[in-house]
Structure 1
Amino acid sequence: MQDAIGELRRPEELLDEVTVLRSGVAEEGRRIFEAWRPGIVRRSFQVSALNFAHYLALRRRDLRGLQSQLMVYGLSSLGRLEGRVLANLDAVGGALRAMAGEAPAHYPRPHAFFRGQRLLASHAEALLGPQARPGRDVRIMVTLPSEAADEPHLLLALARAGAEAVRINCAHDDAERWERMVAGIRHAEVAVGRRMRILMDLGGPKCRTAEVRHPPDRGRIAEGDVVLLVRDGAFVPLEQAPFQAACGLPGVVDRLRSGDPVFVDDGKLGGVVEAVSAEGARIRVTRATAKGRKLKPDQGLNFPATDLGVVALTDRDRADLDFVAGHADVVGYSFVQSADDVRVLQRELAVRRPNDWNRIGVIAKIETPHAVRNLPEIIVAAASCQPFGVMIARGDLAVELGFERLAEMQEEMMWLCEAAHVPVVWATQVLESLVKKGLPTRGDMTDAAMSARAECVMLNKGPNVVEAVNMLDRLLVRMAEHQTKKTPRLRALTSW
C-alpha cells in the first residue's frame, strides 16, 4: 500500500490537513449558503442547503491522496459523506486527534451525524409519498398509457402491485382523459387503503420532426446521406434533396451553424450540419445502423451544441397548468435549464393556487448539458420553496452528453442531489424489455439493480408493466438489504 500512496504520513500530519480542509470547506460553504439564504423560505431546506454548499466547496478540491492515507489507518475515506459533509470531517478529525494523543477527541453525536439521511427520507416522502412495501425505500412510478383513462382495472392492478406514483404525460391526450385517469387512481387508492402520488409531466418545447419526405423507392437513410432540415416547412423538389424533414419547433434552422451535431430518435441517427442556406440546414449523416434508419414524423431531434433559444414553459404548458395545478400532486418540468426557468413555473403556480402553491411538488427533468451545469442553482431555487426532486432523463442525456459520459454524469448528479437531500427519479427504459416484450434482459436487471440508489424508479408504459412492477418490487427489496445509496450493507451472506 505504501508503494501505491507514497510515504505513509503520521496521524499528526493528517490531522493538520483535515483541520485545514474542514476550515476551508466550512468558510467557503458558508459564503455560498449566504448567497442562497434570502431565497430559502422552506425551513426544512435550510440545513440541506448548508450541507449542499459545503459539498460544492469540498468537491472543488482533489482529495484522492488524502483518501488513500486515511484508509491505511482504517478511517473513513470520505467517499460517502454527501449527506453529512462537516460531520464526516469532524468524525475523521476526532479519530486522528485520538490517534495523535491529543485530548479531548471530539466526535459528532449520532443524531447529528445521520441527520442528512433522515432529511432525505423526509423530503422523499413529502414529494413521493410513503412506501407501499416494508423493507423497500425506493418508490416505483409508472407512466400511464392513454388507455388508462378507460381501464380502471389497470390502475388498480398497479396500486396492488406496489406502485407509489403514476405519471401522466401532458404531451399526449387532453384534460378530459386526464380527469378520468385521476379519478381512476383515486378509486384505486380507496381499494388499497393508501394514497398514491400523481405526477403530471408538462410537455415542454420538445423538438420533433414534423412532415418527412423521401423517395418512394428508398426510405432508409445510411451513413454519408444528406438530410435537409427545411426552413419553416418549405420543402424543395426531391431531386435537390432526397431526404427532407420539417422541424416542429419554429426557428430552429436559424440557430444552426456549420459543424453543429444533430441527432434523431434518441441518437439512432446522427449527423453534422454541413451548411445552412435559404432552403434549410444540410445535415451529413455520420451515424446510422448497417441497414440504415427510417426518418419518420414525430421523432425527437437533439442539438447538443446549439442554443435553441427556447423557453422551458410553453404556451401549451401554461394552458395545461390550469388543469395540472388543480389535480396533480407533483408537476414534471421538462427542458428546465436554469433557476430562472424554475421561478417562471413557480409564478405560474402561484397565479393558479395563490394560497398553497408551494405545497405542489416539482420534479425537474435534467436532459441537457446546460441543465447539468446549472443543476445546483436549479436545486436551490426549487427546493427552497416546495417539495422537489430531480429526474435523470437518461434518454435525452445520453444523446446530449454522449453515451460515453452518461454513466459518469448520472453518478455526479446523484451525488449532488444526495448532498442537498433531494430525491432522485431514475428514468428511461428501466426493465424495458420486460415491459414491452415480457422478458427482461441481463442488462435490464443490472440497470434496475443500480436504480436502487435513487429514491424512485420510473417504468415506461407497456403491455407487461404490472409484471414489471412486481419484479422491480422484489428486486428493490433484496437490494435494500445490500446497499443504501453508495454505502454497502454487510448483512450475512447465505449463498456460501
Structure 2
Amino acid sequence: MKIHDQRALKHASPDENTTTYSLLLDELTALRDELVKSENGFSDTLQKVNLQHHAGAANLIHYLGLRRRDVRPLQEKLAAAGLSSLGRAESHVLPNLQAIITLLQHTLQLTYRDDIASDTAGAAKGPVLLQANAKNLLGKLPSQRQVRIMVTLPSEAADDYTLIKEMLLKGMDCARINCAHDDPAVWLRIIDQIKLACRETGRHCRILMDLAGPKLRTGDIALGPPVMKWQPRRDVQGRIISPARIWLHHEKDHLSCPASADACLPVQGNWLSHAKKRDQIEFTDARGSRRKLQLAEKVGDGFWAESSQTAYLTSDMKLHLSRMLKSKKTEHVGNAGAVGALPQTPETIRLYRGDNLILTRYPIPGIPEQYDESGNLLRAASIACSLPEVFAMVKSGERILFDDGRIGGIIRSVNADELMVEITQARDGGEKLLSDKGINLPDSQLDLSGLTDIDIENLEFVTHHADIVGLSFAHRATDVELLQQHLKRLNANQLGIVLKVETRAAFENLPELLFTLLRSPNVGVMIARGDLAVECGYERLAELQEEIMWLTEAAHLPLIWATQVLESLTKNGKPSRAEITDAAMGERAECVMLNKGPHILDAIQMLDDILQRMQGHQNKKSALLRRLHW
C-alpha cells in the first residue's frame, strides 16, 4: 500500500471518498459481470467436466478472465482504500469480488440489488474443495502436517523390505514407481513390499506409477576395446594418499566383485592357486609400462592386491608371479598367468563448444569423432535418437539440449536420416555424452502421441496395482483424452490421474489441459521442474512454477511439487542452503516429491521437519502471521 495514497484518502472530504468508492464499485461490478458472462464462452467445456469439478472449472474460467488483464492499477486503488486486494483470490474469484462489492455498497448506503447469485460466503468453499480433491487423489493427511511426502522408489526396493518400512516410518505418504525403468515383475515386488509395510506399520501409502511417455533419449554407444584401468588416490600435489585396491578372481567367478574394489581383475585358469600373501604380480601394461601388484590378503579363492601405479590392462595380458625368499632374493613362481576376458565398455563421446554432433535416425551405436592418420577430421561424433519420428518435425536453427541441458546446441541441417548439431553449450573442459540421456527440443512443434505402445501395454498393469497413473510429457489436451479413453476401455475411470507439466508446450497449453483433465473424477498436477526448466530456461522456472500453482489452485486441483527437492542431501548426505528454502516452498503444494538416492531416509526426515515448521507460517500464498519468538 502506498503511504501517500493512504494519507490522501484519510484527509479526503466525505464527497471525495464517496466519489472514490463509487468509481471503485462501478469498476468492480463491471469486472464481476464480465467474468460471469465469460462462462457463456465455455458452456461446452463445462458440460464435459465431471460434476464434482464443476465449481473448480467455473472458478478457473473466472480466474483466467481476471488474469488476462493487468489488474495492478485496480490493486493499487483497493489497497489505497483499505479494502481487500485480489492477490489471494485464486480459489474463490467471484466470492472475493462480491465481498468487496458488498462492502462498498454498504459504505455508500446503497440498497443491495443484484441479479447475479453470488454467495459471499463462497470464499471458504474453494479451499475446502481443494482439500477434498487432494484427499481423494493422495489419501488423507498425516496427523502431524498439512503436506504429503511422495518418494520415488529405487529398483532395489523390490528386495529391500526394511528400506520401504523405514521410509513409511520416516514420513512417506505416497510411493512413486517410474515405469521408464525395470519391468512388471520388479514393480509387483515393490508394490507387495509397500503393502506389507503398510500392514505392519499401520500407515497409509498411495502408489503412483508414472508412464514413461514419449521421452526423447540418446541411443546406445558403440563398445570400445576391453581395457581395464586403475589408479591410486593422490592429493593436489600428486602424492599418493592410498593405493588402488584390486580384487583378483577366477574369470568364471563373475559375482565375486566387491563394491569397495577400485577394479576387479579376472585371471585365467587356476594360476591364482599358486599365489600367497605378500607375493608380487609383475606385468607390462597396455602402454608398455612395467607395473607391479602387491598381494595383500587371500579371501576364499580370490585375492586383494594393492597398486601404487596407474595401469591399463587388456585381455590375455601376461602376468608373472614373484616371491621374496628368506635370502631376500626374488624368484618367479610357476608359469606365467594371463588376464581373463575383460568386459567391453562404451566409447567416450566428449563434446566441446564448436564441435558438431550427428543425430542419426536409425539405432546405430554412437561413436566419437573419427580422424585420419594425419589428424584430419573424417566424421563428427554421432549418436542415435530414441524417437526418429521427430526428424520430420524439427527445423534448422532450432535449439536442442541433452542430459538435462548440460549440453546444448543448434540444429544446423536436417535430412531424412540425420540432424547436424553445432554444440554451443558445454563446459570449458568439454562434456561427456552418454547413452539413455534426455533430449529436449524446446523450439520444435512436436506432434507425438501422449502414450507410446509400451505405455498402453503397461497401463493394464497400472490399473490393477496402482492408485494413480502419471501422464508424462503431455503436450496438448488430446494426450489427456487418449489416456482417459484407455482408462475407460479398461474400466478404470476412477483411477487417479496426475498430469505432469514438464514441457514448454504443456505449459503454454495448460488451461486447455486442465479443463480436459477435469473430465475425470480423481485428478491432480505435478510440476516436473527438471525438464520444464530445461525446455523453458532456468531463469524462468520460478515464474512458471508460480503460474502453475495459481492455475491449479483456481481449478481446486492438488499440486505435487517435484524434481530435485533436497537433491544434494538425498545423493550426497548434505543439503545446500538454497535447497532448504526450496523445500520450504513446498508448503504451498499439497504434496512434495523426493527422488531416490543413498540418503533418502535422511531426506524424508528433514523434509518432514521443514514442512511441519513451515505450516504454522504459510498456507498457499497467505502468510498466517503466527506469533514470533521475540
TM-score (norm 2): 0.74
Q: Deviations over 1:210-244 (max 9, x none)?
A: 02469999743111111111232457982433321
Of 478, 501, 509 in structure 2, the residue corresponding to residue 374 of structure 1 is: 509
Aligned match of 2:91 = 83
Secondary structure of 1:262's counterpart equals strand
Aligned match of 2:257 = none
Task: Give the Cα separation in 1 of the matches to 2:417 and 2:82.
Answer: 67
Aligned match of 1:433 = 568
Secondary structure of 1:232's counterpart equals coil
Q: How does 1:246-265 map to 2 (within 5 A)?
A: 246-265=384-403
Task: Give the Cα separation in 2 of the matches to 1:130 and 1:318.
Answer: 30
Q: How does 1:31-50 map to 2 (within 5 A)?
A: 31-40=40-49, 42-50=50-58
Task: Give the Cα separation in 2 of the matches to 1:241 and 1:230.
Answer: 13
Q: Deviations over 1:313-370 (max 9, x none)?
A: 0110111112111000000111112221112111211222x2xx22110001111121
| 1:110 positional shift | 7.1
Q: How does 1:205-284 map to 2 (within 5 A)?
A: 205-212=214-221, 219-233=349-363, 238-239=370-371, 240-277=378-415, 280-284=418-422
Secondary structure of 2:220's counterpart equals strand
| 1:252 positional shift | 2.6
Task: Give the Cα separation in 2 of the matches to 1:215 and 1:97.
Answer: 80
Of 291, 296, 303 in structure 1, the residue corresponding to residue 429 of structure 2 is: 291
1:73 is aligned to 2:205: no
1:475 is aligned to 2:475: no
| 1:51 positional shift | 1.0
Which is further off, 73-82 or 244-253?
A: 244-253
Of 4, 19, 24 in structure 1, the residue corresponding to residue 34 of structure 2 is: 24
Consecutive unaligned residues of structure 2, counting only runs of 5 or more, are: 10-18, 226-346, 372-377
Specify which structure has the higher proportion of helix.
1
Secondary structure of 2:500's counterpart equals strand
| 1:383 positional shift | 2.1
Aligned match of 1:101 = 109
Q: Deviations over 1:129-176 (max 9, x none)?
A: 011233x21110000000000011111111111111000001111111
Paired AA for residue 131 in structure 1 = L
Secondary structure of 1:116's counterpart equals helix
CA contact (8 A) 1:213 1:244 kept: no
Of 34, 57, 63 in structure 1, the residue corresponding to residue 71 of structure 2 is: 63
Aligned match of 1:463 = 598
Task: Give the Cα separation in 2 of the matches to 1:427 and 1:380.
Answer: 22
Q: Deviations over 1:381-418 (max 9, x none)?
A: 22222211111111101111111221111111110000
CA contact (8 A) 1:258 1:273 kept: yes
Task: Give the Cα separation in 1 of the matches to 2:461 and 2:189.
Answer: 13
Task: Give the Cα separation in 2 of the matches to 1:291 and 1:98.
Answer: 70
Paired AA for residue 439 in structure 1 = K
Task: Give the Cα separation in 2 of the matches to 1:336 and 1:115.
Answer: 30
Of 182, 192, 198 in structure 1, the residue corresponding to residue 207 of structure 2 is: 198
Which is further off, 261-270 or 364-373?
A: 364-373
Q: How does 1:329-478 map to 2 (within 5 A)?
A: 329-352=467-490, 354=491, 357-478=492-613
TM-score (norm 1): 0.93
Aligned match of 1:14 = 24
CA contact (8 A) 1:33 1:49 kept: no
Q: How does 1:110-129 map to 2 (within 5 A)?
A: 111-129=121-139
CA contact (8 A) 1:22 1:86 kept: yes
Q: 1:7 to 1:369 in 2, by over 3 A?
A: farther
Task: Give the Cα separation in 2 of the matches to 1:278 and 1:166.
Answer: 42
CA contact (8 A) 1:138 1:456 kept: yes
1:316 is aligned to 2:451: no
Q: 1:366 to 1:99 in 2, by over 3 A?
A: same
Of 137, 146, 155 in structure 2, the residue corresponding to residue 146 of structure 1 is: 155
CA contact (8 A) 2:570 2:595 kept: yes
Paired AA for residue 143 in structure 2 = R
CA contact (8 A) 1:214 1:244 kept: no
| 1:305 positional shift | 1.2
Aligned match of 2:141 = 131
Q: Deviations over 1:92-145 (max 9, x none)?
A: 1122223333345999767522100000000000000011233x2111000000
Of 182, 185, 197 in structure 1, the residue corresponding to residue 194 of structure 2 is: 185
CA contact (8 A) 1:426 1:454 kept: yes
Greater CA radius of gyration, 1 or 2? 2
Q: Deviations over 1:184-209 (max 9, x none)?
A: 11111112223210000001111110
CA contact (8 A) 1:141 1:457 kept: yes
Q: 1:224 to 1:26 in 2, by over 3 A?
A: same
Task: Give the Cα separation in 2 of the matches to 1:214 and 1:196.
Answer: 43
- Percent identical residues: 45
Q: 1:184 to 1:337 in 2, by over 3 A?
A: same
Aligned match of 1:169 = 178
Which is further off, 251-260 or 125-134?
A: 251-260
| 1:486 positional shift | 0.4
Q: Deviations over 1:420-466 (max 9, x none)?
A: 00011111100000100111000110110111111111000011111
Which is further off, 406-415 or 338-347?
A: 338-347
Task: Give the Cα separation in 2 of the matches to 1:358 and 1:252.
Answer: 32
CA contact (8 A) 2:94 2:118 kept: no
Secondary structure of 2:219's counterpart equals strand
| 1:309 positional shift | 2.3
The number of aligned residues is 489
Paired AA for residue 138 in structure 2 = L
Task: Give the Cα separation in 2 of the matches to 1:220 and 1:469.
Answer: 36
